[in-house]
Amino acid sequence: MAQVLEFKLPDLGEGLTEAEIVRWLVSVGDVVAIDQPVVEVETAKAMVEVPCPYGGVVTARYGEEGTELPVGAPLLTVAVGASEPGDMPAPVAGPPAADPAVQPAAPKAAGSAGSTGPSSGDASGNVLVGYGTGAPVARRRRVRPVRSSAPAAPRIPSAPAAGPVNGASGPVPVVSPLVRRLAREHGVDLRALTGSGRDGLILRSDVEQAIRHGVTQPQLQAQPQLPPRFRAQPQASTATAAPVAASRPSPVTAQDGAVRVPLRGVRGVVADKLSRSRHEIPDATCWVDADATELMAARTAMNAAGGPKISLLALLGRICTAALARHPELNSTVDMAAREIVRLPAVHLGFAAQTDRGLVVPVVRDAHARSAESLSAEFARLTEAGRAGTLTPADLTGGTFTLNNYGVFGVDGSTPIINHPEAAMLGVGRIVPKPWVYQGELAVRQVVQLSLTFDHRVCDGGTAGGFLRYVADCVEQPAMLLRTL
């Protein structure tokens, strides 16, 4: 007899608490193999294919494409032991699935009472990222708030109980710390919202809608503290009046044809990180022009010798690691809680890459221990993965210094924002022929502008200038790198 098991959205690592369903790879009734990818989701850092640890027949899917689910929410149910749809157990009447187009066949979670879990032949036993199938899943208490017949939209109580707005007892049905942080930053009282997620879960979209409607703590606290017998009567009028008054668009956003693009996924994370960097890091920028003629000639000679091609970005990366060895202050981060500068022993070199999904910064691990050839291969691999949307969260985190080659966009210079929590970023403009004084005579040379944006807490201008000058000297005389070998 087939056993129906529920597979939930696993922990995807790096503290990610939610993901958006981009594309289902299986349909109800399909037979899936153990560890077969069943859905493609987009997290805040990467596009990920999620494999199902069970083998059998898909009996239900939860969530349509475009739906955002928290970690731990059901993804699908699988009839383990069934080899075709006819082997599935008869469905039992019950509440509808999260996907209105699909009715689940009475899913039974692995590790639930009366279940011994899948046999070794029905599950991989692999401990994947955040989940596995080798042992029953521990039961967890779930918050099930009272359902309301009203539409799932932010709701403001007409008058909160006496005391602080958040003084009510009982847990708030929010899983994501990102949602809590968003609410905290905008002063939104989560207890005043009715979640639109499964079991009343408050999602990011609920908080964003509350922000747009002006549902903030100061507004709630300003309402009169009435006795309980008077609270129900004015609820409808107050709940509707506040959003109407606060939702009046500004003259800019009220323009006809204005398009709103949600700050979600990669774009949302980039926005948060850049805002945090600008808010927390006292940055400064210095720049210098350099003659890159010899560097370009050296690259041409290296590639003419045969073997794998070496990219210009790889040579610049090799120069960066050599410069960081001389100026380790710039390969560091600031721990403000401990009021310490933490100098890091390894150089994990990030590089800015533009993709169809926005700007991403893949990280080359242990770049200081790599040759130009190894750097070139790793840059190419990560760039291709970024364009294909297959970068993993591990590929996008842990950087200690960033190289930004904005010259590919045809610009000469820039003052980039530091990739928090790093301490510096080297920018490289386009390399173009320009008049240059070379050996005492005016000549046409290949000139590039280099800029260094650095955290002024980790070093002063002398260290930053010394780093940038060494980089420029290596660009002008690549043979200087031989001293670091």
The residues assigned a catalytic role are 456
- CA 417 – CA 284 distance, rounded (Å): 10
Calculate the CA 354 to chain-centre distance: 15
Q: And the tokens for 167?
A: 């003084």
Among 252, 19, 27, CA closest to 129: 19
String of DSSP letters for 32-73: E-TTEEEEEEE-SS-EEEEEESB-EEEEEE-S-TT-EEETTS
At 364, list the tokens. Answer: 């080359």
Q: What kind and span of H or E run contains 274?
A: helix 265-280
For 321, the enclosing helix (H) or strand (E) is helix 312-326
- Measured distance CA(209)–CA(249) in Å, rounded: 14
Q: Is the peptide bond before 421 cis (omega within 30 degrees of 0)?
A: yes
> CA–CA separation, 435 vs 415, rounded Å?
24
**Token pair for 421:** 């929590």
DSSP 207-258: HHHHHHTT--HHHHHTS----GGGTSTTHHHHHHHHHHHHTPPPTTTTSTT-
Is-contact 99 63, C-beta < 8 A? Answer: yes
Paired tokens of 5: 């098991």
Chain-centroid distance of CA 89 in Å reads 39
The identity of residue 236, as a single letter, is A
Q: Which helix (H) or strand (E) holds 270?
A: helix 265-280
Q: What is the DSSP string of 404-452?
A: E-GGGGT-S---PPP-TT-SEEEEE---EEEEEEETTEEEEEEEEEEEE
Nearest-angstrom CA–CA distance, 191 and 168:
8
CA-to-CA distance for 356 and 358, rounded, in angstroms? 6
What's the half-sphere exposure (Cβ side, CA atoms, 13 Å) at 286? 16
Tokens matching residue 123: 């599950």
